[in-house]
Structure 1
């Protein structure tokens, strides 16, 4: 799964908007959630979702100059985006569903 995300080359796609990145990633993420989520839900949430967010934060650092070299700040920006746009990425939607019940 990580290899598939790496092959997309997310940090180098700085010319795309976050919504366009979501359009690229969401079909892949939804497929993994459907396939692995039934038996490996904890692993998905703990490892894969964290890795996806890390790659999105890396994309933010490449896209916006003020975030370059500022890993913690990029995570804060990502958390702010996630709180306002829960349905942007498929794994964000799933985490909020699991948290709500």
Structure 2
């Protein structure tokens, strides 16, 4: 496994990462690297370390790298969500939609959101926007914004864990 990781780092990231030290142990491989850009990562796993300007508890500013979802992985997941065409599935109930999408969304949240949740928030809000469009398509009486919004708030209060991503973004459904 360590050989595969090293080969992946060498082949895919040679232009972006200059490896300073490499420590190989029985249970893990540690790479200390100096990056040349704002991101460094492993393309095959869909994660990158993004440069973030942070401050310590004592108020000292420093640059840190936080693991987050890569742009390519986010594009791939977004295409998957678009392919579901949730807003056109009006023959299904709200519970059927939840049963259909929850396993995938929960998996993405666990894998990509383990360290940097807020990187997934735009995707989760987009799923909510598709669900809101579904509500407005399925029920003609909810086509107006105010009525649909009231229904949305009622549904998120009545069934707060119906959709897996509502644990992180329950009421947010607008992209902007």
- Given the two structures, how large is their TM-score scaled by the length of structure 1? 0.82
More strand by share: 2
Gaps of 5+ in 1: 97-101
- Work out the number of aligned pairs and report it: 94
1:49 deviates by 2.0
Runs of 4+ aligned structure 1 residues displaced above 4 Å come to none
Query: Does 1:73 pair with 2:147?
Result: yes
Answer whether contact 2:90 2:134 (CA < 8 A) is retained: yes
Name 1:60's counterpart in structure 2. Answer: 135
1:76 deviates by 2.7
For 1:5, what is the secondary structure of its paired residue? helix
1:71 deviates by 3.5
Name 2:93's counterpart in structure 1. Answer: 17
Which structure has the higher relative contact order (CA within 8 Å, separation 6+)? 1
1:28-67 maps to which residues of 2 (within 5 A)? Answer: 28-45=104-121, 47-67=122-142
- Given the two structures, how large is their TM-score scaled by the length of structure 2? 0.49
**Per-residue CA shift, 1:21-51, capped at 9, x if unaligned?**
0011101110110111113301223x12211
More helix by share: 1
Name 2:162's counterpart in structure 1. Answer: 88
1:78 deviates by 1.3
Name 1:2's counterpart in structure 2. Answer: 78
For 2:90, what is the secondary structure of its paired residue? coil
> Superposition RMSD on alpha carbons, in Å?
1.7
